Structure 1
């Protein structure tokens, strides 16, 4: 069962180089790809990764070409370099080679189907599954083969280790095309096609799990659901490694990442760094980690299959040594994980203090931190102000407000500090977090008061607290329609995040900026910024990325605002793929979006179901009611209002001619709503209608209440759905 790979076949056909090299671990479909590509004639030698000699391989090739098996290697090169192939003489040796129809000595045509026009004069030599190690004279012979002047000769090689040939020269002279595991891995659409062929009943969650475990590794997709993966790895991976390489590989199966330096110290008596580099050369399923040069991780499916090979006391010793070394090498989060796995919570808590405060913002670190918190005794997490700050911030971001407040109370045990400046900073950081807590509970006045007070004493070292306070104040400003203040605060936050080089913080600030642009009636600029951030975070990732999910939900909101409900639903579903099992309050936005889409599609049952699922997800994440009850209630009101509107539309028109849904909106409120929908600011609406800005804000607030909306954009969208606005 094979899934066609047309984009790779087209690449091989388009990039006609002297050497086309497919170098990847076992099971990436190298042989199948060449069979798909080579639909015409080719000289194909299946080497099965077995050791080869110069005389043996040249004899095999000579036999495949219809020559005597004892043809000298140099003579064979001279024949392959025959210039007659260029002139097209019908009786030349080259022409005869191209017209061969049967090849003994374990070789065959790539396909039984010849090209219909038979005009392709290329002589293609395929060396399938080249051995990892070859003698010097055989490597030299291949260098001579690749240096031949015959322009109609092409060599195609599949292997699991890069051959020791003059590849740099071929690359510099544009004669090399190389495909590695990342390029040969299945794309998402190909993965879906293969799973649908193998097990069409597989649900979405299982598909996502399989994808993240295999990363598009074709053999893994086929074998992981069965019990055959371990025997496959035994045959295709372990038998090709030495005993010391196997020992290191079994240890790597328990580490989330590794480098040559780490392995050198973990297995110092066995030259672990050298062994690790050999495993890399042998294509032992070690994948480079993005943005971390020199660090690799074992493919999860392979790691899972090999973990049983090391256990007990040897595994515990490895973990303890690994956590120490990872901490020294700056990989603090991985050091924490190894310490916990070795049942050393005190050591883990000590390492947690060394985490960067911005660490929680990236990837799935929030979930990881919350998992650690469940595995470490509370008194250990209250042992320093920094740990308390980290825990409180994680709890706030997770929507667990009561726990966050209890955690913040622990800072009082460290007050007052002997140093007055440090004392003020500690209090200011407490106020920043407490202001955030109040904002999440909807107490805007208290939130504003504490955040502004915190900003007076926070120093440059507390940049993340400064950024947090500015973002909270900006959101409050957007809620009160003070868009100019919100813009100034977010611009300052953006500059701060950039100066600190924190991309995650920059994305979070830009999410608020997109919402501000949508409120300002500038959808084009909002979309441009969204696309920029999506491009920076986009692409199919090895792991889910909650930050990307957050962006996708916002993109779905933008699409819905533009009336593109179908596209909005697709984007929302893509967002849920990224936030799978995530326990943060922002996941609510995805459910609200799907609920609104279903409601607009006149499917109230599905709309209410999405809200039920949202509430269930919030309960599962132990998220405080203040974070979700209001938005869910507002969405329920919109669904009910839309249902009433639809029923009214089916009923006979009233004598007044005024639709039912406008009974609650005064003429002045309708006028304000129409101008806001045109993108006018509060000041511009007031000027147009000759009323004060405060009056406009009062009308806007009443409109939101009557339409069951929380924000201006929601009120406008709801009004359009109800027919109040065109």
Structure 2
């Protein structure tokens, strides 16, 4: 029942609004503006129907009479209902016919709220309601709220524009509304409390209210248990107490299933009976909703289902076993595998893995399930085929458990020799592909490259997933070496193969490599457009690609941050972090790092270092080797220390970490942080300048700048150019500093890399103060206009030629086609009367065509 209070400016009572109530105009305005005579809210318990109606009631026009009738979900006879409606409207009638006659003649503008209409099927009562709605005057507006949609002639009302309807999902709190609720609390919550509450509650009003209870003085685990207990008690009173025992048990079974349909219900509960129970539960508003917008599949609302799943359920194994049998018959291997694990039928689950491929790792939470099965059963039972070895190895590599992955790979020897030479070569090639990825992720570039190349020679066309992984590994290594043209060719070959096989998940994985390539070329906006497109494709055609979507979100967060879009970046980092945590992806590290950068941008270094500490703790908890995260964490920490004016700490950290990347036993940077080593190197130069320990720092930075320019790494070139400006300013060379800054600002505008410029501006604001005006001195005027036969675009092309760029690099940097570059080069040679590129550059410099 809803708590009621007297309305101060209107007769009667209305629901008492919570002290934390927020106005939800996105819901009330359409309701208030609708010309419909009937406004229907149909949603499960705790969806905020009464509060929404009360908010609308308080905004009724002054000329409108308002009446509130609290029905409390109870069953009543048609006669009792007629009397209640008449009494609410102040009518004295003796029969239904008199009531209908009065309503037909009604002239005073009136709103009648029927709150919490009958919750169980009542055909006679619904028929009376239908007559009341149909025959009443347009002056009387009906506001009807309940958990069950009454059996009325809704199509007729809809066709006459007399019906406005809202359902459960529309009533859920949005993230913004949850944030408004948090702002009203007398105590503060953690920085990402809004997102956590939304993820846990799905916006369900009752769950949000409980989550916002004061948790001072209680541990997180106690608070979670307390909230779960409250919500379970709420469900017991509001849902289970109103259901027959067999329906309550059926609902509990359905809550433990990821999805269900008519066929599965018939299999579980009996032919005829199962379908009837499913439809009855739907009609009663028992939190049953469409699954992924499917016309056939249903699910129990996820936050409610999770509450039930967290409780012990002794009968669960038998139900999961029966569900597994049905999914096997339907050849739904994913769902059958999950149900087999829930039924503790591990041998059945292992047998179902024969239907899994590498792409299944990027679906749902399969990595977590595979690792759990591996830990429970051990190698003797699980590693019974080469295919299973590859699957478990890939899961271990994905989670960053490299030592266990190495031991797993060794089990490939169990399956040698193969019956024929071709099969033996394929087995060895598969071993090389796995070993190559292990070495690649551990930072050993040369042996990993050798394994990849040799595996590609012997892998047959049927082993295209392994070929794709080898090509992806080689692409990442080319990017790490700064060989962008090689990386692009490898990535293109891999993408063509993935598309030819219709492997959308692989395509998404390869597009991440492509996005890193575009980022290095200084085109973050193109990389973002690419990832946005593949994200939409995955959402439409590859449901539950949660791990891959998590990685894409993290990369999009980095791109948004580079372009100065902090709010957008924070959203991507939050969602990517959540997805990677659920799937045990080692890339979760970059979610924490991204949030740390956002906090540092806002000047909150305490929060930034908390994110770094959380990242390190997570890596250690999941036993991920420190080679994956140590260098990256120290780089970001040093970056923050420099911004705080603590160069000594940064110098010590950078000196220590660079030892791992230099020398005969040097390792490559982690594949997700391609430019880590050059960024560590230039950051060390800056710290040495601050500490007055630098030896020819500008020469060192210019040497790095030249390498980046030769490789076409425009993003790195921009950052290095800003570093040259910073170091020159610190060395007391303002003219050189401002010249370097001007060049860097042009690169920033061209590539839209706002983050690096903003960081320098915060660190050295004096560099950006305009110098005092000086007397003008005559300057040599470059050849232009009639003296310069080259167009502005041709000068740009020639400038890039002078910097040592290839035609393909020029095309990428200027965002034009390769054919257009060649056309410009041919015209330049013709206008300057030369035959070679080098001659064109020399003549243009001699004539002063370069400003």
For the 8 Å contact 1:62–1:69, the answer to whether it is kept is: yes
How much does 1:125 deviate?
A: 3.1
* Shift in Å, 1:420: 5.2
1:400-454 per-residue CA deviation (whole Å, 9 max, x = no partner) reads: 1221122122122122333555544444333322222222122333333333333
Offset of residue 617 of structure 1: 1.9
602 and 218 in structure 1: CA distance in 2 versus 1, 3 angstrom threshold: closer
Deviations 1:609-652 (A, max 9, x none): 5544433222212223332234334445555666779799xx9x
| Equivalent-residue separation in structure 2 for 1:423 and 1:177 (angstroms) | 68
CA distance in 1, matches of 2:192, 2:372: 21
Matched, 1:297 2:299: yes
Distance 2:462 2:77 in 1: 64
**What's the counterpart of residue 275 of structure 2?**
273
Q: Is 1:371 matched up with 2:372?
A: yes
- For 2:759 and 2:120, the matched residues in 1 are separated by 70
Q: Does 1:43 align with 2:67?
A: yes
SS of 1:94 mapped into structure 2 = coil
In structure 1, C-alpha distance between the alignment counterparts of 2:548 and 2:85, rounded to whole Å: 54
Q: TM-score, normalised by structure 1?
A: 0.77
1:572 deviates by: 3.2
Aligned residues: 652
Is 2:107 aligned against 1:94? Answer: yes
Deviation at 1:208, TM superposition (A): 5.8
Report the more deviating stretch, 512-521 or 446-455: 446-455
Change (3 A) 1:386 1:273: farther
Distance in 2, matches of 1:451 and 1:177, equals 62
Change (3 A) 1:297 1:451: same
- Aligned position for 1:158: 145
Matches within 5 A, 1:118-517: 123-133=110-120, 135-148=122-135, 150-194=137-181, 200=187, 203=190, 210-223=197-210, 225=227, 227-268=229-270, 271-290=273-292, 294-299=296-301, 302-303=304-305, 306=308, 311-312=313-314, 314-418=315-419, 422-459=423-460, 461-498=462-499, 503-517=504-518
Q: Which runs of 5+ in 1 are unaligned?
A: 83-92, 99-122, 686-711
Query: 2 CA distance for matches of 1:426 and 1:639?
Result: 48
TM-fit CA distance, 1:299: 3.7
* 2-structure distance, mates of 1:132, 1:520: 62
Q: Contact 2:596 / 2:609 at 8 angstroms: preserved in 1?
A: yes
Does the CA contact (< 8 Å) of 1:53 and 1:134 recur in 2? no
Post-superposition CA distance 1:569-615 (Å, at most 9, x none): 56534543443465322122233434555667777776665544433
Is the CA contact (8 Å cut-off) linking 1:60 and 1:69 kept in structure 2? no
Task: State which drifts further: 408-417 or 224-233.
Answer: 224-233
CA contact (8 A) 1:518 1:713 kept: no
CA displacement, residues 438-493 of structure 1 (integer Å, 9 cap, x when unaligned): 22122333333333333344455544323322222221222222223323333444
Closer/same/farther in 2, CA of residues 290 and 459 from structure 1, 3 Å limit: farther
Structure 1 pair 301/525, CA: closer, same or farther in 2 (3 Å)? closer
Could you tell me how far 1:356 is from its partner in structure 2? Answer: 4.3
Q: Deviation at 1:517?
A: 1.3
Q: Secondary structure at the match of 1:154?
A: strand
Aligned positions of 1:65-84 closer than 5 A: 65-73=89-97, 75-82=98-105
- Alpha-carbon spacing, 1:199–1:284, altered in 2? closer, same or farther (3 Å): farther
> Using the alignment, how far apart are the partners of 1:374 and 1:582 within structure 2?
16
**1:264, 1:401 → 2: CA distance?**
46
Structure 2 Cα separation of the partners of residues 308 and 516 of structure 1: 44
Report the secondary structure of 1:42's partner residue.
strand
1:482–1:274 Cα change, 3 Å: same
SS at match of 1:614: helix
**Deviation larger for 204-213 or 400-409:** 204-213
Judge conservation of contact 1:130–1:157 (CA < 8 Å) in 2: yes
SS at match of 1:518: helix
Instruction: Summarize the Cα distance change of 1:227–1:134 in structure 2 as closer, same or farther, 3 Å threshold.
Output: closer
Distance 1:678 1:473 in 2: 18
The change in CA–CA distance for 1:548 and 1:6 in structure 2 (over 3 A counts) is farther
1:518-558 Cα distance to aligned partner (Å, 9 max, x none): 2112232223234445667899xx99955444333323322
Which secondary structure does the structure 2 equivalent of 1:377 belong to? helix
**1:436 and 1:472 in contact (8 A); partners too:** yes
8 Å CA contact 1:23, 1:162 repeated in 2 = yes
Question: Any conservation in 2 of the 1:286–1:297 contact (CA below 8 Å)?
Answer: yes
Query: Which whole-Å CA distance do the structure 2 matches of 1:348 and 1:519 have between them?
Result: 43
Q: Deviations over 1:102-146 (max 9, x none)?
A: xxxxxxxxxxxxxxxxxxxxx333322222445545434444444
**Cα distance between partner residues in 2 of 1:6 and 1:602:** 34
Conserved? CA contact 1:195–1:202, under 8 Å: yes
- RMSD of the TM alignment (CA)? 4.2
User: How far off its partner does 1:284 sit?
Assistant: 1.1
C-alpha separation in 2, matches of 1:328 and 1:636: 54
- Say which SS state the counterpart of residue 125 (structure 1) adopts: strand
Distance 1:167 1:420, change over 3 A: farther
1:4 matched to which residue of 2? Answer: 23
Residue 27 of structure 1 corresponds to which residue in structure 2?
A: 46
Contact 2:73 2:117 in 1 (8 A): yes
Q: Does the CA-based 8 Å contact 1:645-1:660 persist in structure 2?
A: no
3-state SS in 2 of match to 1:33: helix
Are 2:120 and 2:284, in contact at CA under 8 Å, matched by a contact in 1?
A: no
CA gap of 1:201–1:260, structure 2 versus 1, over 3 A, is farther
Check whether the contact 2:557–2:569 (CA below 8 A) recurs between aligned residues.
Answer: yes
- Report the Cα offset of residue 268 of structure 1: 1.8
In 2, Cα distance between equivalents of 1:320 and 1:558? 46
Preserved CA contact (<8 Å) 2:172 2:205? yes
The answer on whether the counterparts of 1:585 and 1:628 sit within 8 Å (CA) in structure 2 is no
Q: Give the superposition deviation at 1:51.
A: 1.9
Higher relative contact order (CA 8 A, sep 6+): 1
Alpha-carbon distance change, 211 to 560 in structure 1, aligned in 2, over 3 angstroms: closer
Cα gap change, 1:599 to 1:30, in 2 (>3 Å):
closer
How far apart, in 2, do the equivalents of 1:270 and 1:451 lie? Answer: 57
Aligned partner of 1:689 in structure 2 is none
Q: Deviations over 1:55-96 (max 9, x none)?
A: 3323322232222231433x54444344xxxxxxxxxx513x
CA contact (8 A) 1:132 1:282 kept: yes
Deviation string for 1:154-194 (max 9, x for gaps)?
33221212222233344455443322221112212333444
> Following superposition of structure 1 onto structure 2, how do residues 559-708 of structure 1 map, counting pairs within 5 Å?
559-564=560-565, 568=569, 571-580=572-581, 583-596=584-597, 610-636=611-637, 638=639, 662-663=697-698, 665=700, 667-670=702-705, 679=714
Contact 1:212 1:543 in 2 (8 A): no
Give the 3 Å change call, closer, same or farther, for CA 243–638 of structure 1 in structure 2.
Answer: closer
Partner of 1:22, secondary structure, is strand
Shift, 1:5, TM fit:
2.0
